[in-house]
Amino acid sequence: MLKSIWFPVALLLVLVVLTEQVVTHGPLLAVDRWVRHTTVHLVAESSATWLNTLADYWTDFGSSAVAIPLMVLGTLTAAVRARSWKPLAVSLLAGAALFATVIPGKILIGRPGPEGQPMSPGEWGWFPSGHTSTSGVCLGTAAWLLGLTLASGRLRRLLHGATAFVCFGVGVTLIWCNYHWFLDVVAGWSLTGVILWCLVRWAPRPR
């Protein structure tokens, strides 16, 4: 499936539909309101305060202060292990693709957050989710590059699975903490999938 051109096409279609719905305030935004109402209700009823603390810390994996250093560390490790400059080029391409898509999207669409606060002049919007995209692209790129240098297929699958779990958790905890709408996160996942697919398909890779 990942080798098929229809995989990124499907993700792009999802991204286009979600963007159109957000811009035009379409009926899909009812899903956002339902998910937010349900999540707020669950959080209010939960007696496990540690869960809220864990969720808040988990969202930090999507911040540039955490995700970018982890990508740099993974990239340098892969470059040393492979004795190649190519991992550095791949990370630069991933970072450029991330910031060339997420930031303009946030500025142009300018969607308010779940709390409904008005957008200030020069403030970025919430769509697509920057934390979701940053964690997915940065950690996903690092995991893919490191995986290329591992001889064990089991270790490679474990690394990729753990990375996917962490990145999925970022999106879930962003919703749990009421930092993002559901569609913001889905758009971030879709954009991440497209960027990573392009890297895996066309970026120079170390042997």
Overall number of domains in the chain? 1
pLDDT above 70: residue 139: yes
Q: Domain of 15? A: 6-19+53-114+123-202
Stated as kind and residue range, the H or E segment containing 63 is: none
**Phi, psi (deg, nearest 5) at residue 152:** -85, 120
- Within a domain: residue 33? no
What is the predicted pLDDT for the residue at 117?
Answer: 67
- What single-letter amino acid sits at 85? W
- Within a domain: residue 25? no
What is the predicted pLDDT for the residue at 115?
Answer: 79
Neighbouring residues of 106: CB distance < 8 A, sequence distance ≥ 6: 124, 125, 126, 127, 128, 130
- Within a domain: residue 42? no
DSSP string, 131-150: HHHHHHHHHHHHHHHHHHT-
**Average pLDDT rounded to a whole number, residues 2-17:** 91
What is the predicted pLDDT for the residue at 120?
Answer: 67
- Within a domain: residue 41? no
- Within a domain: residue 62? yes
Nearest to 175 by CA among 114, 130, 119, 98: 114
Tokens representing 12? 């792009």
What tens digit of pLDDT does each residue of 73-83 get? 999 999 999 99
- Longest Cα–Cα distance of the chain, Å, equals 53
- Within a domain: residue 35? no
- Within a domain: residue 107? yes
Q: What's the rounded Cα separation, in Å, for the pair 55 and 117?
A: 22
- Within a domain: residue 1? no
What tens digit of pLDDT does each residue of 84-120 get? 999 999 999 999 999 999 999 999 999 999 977 666 6
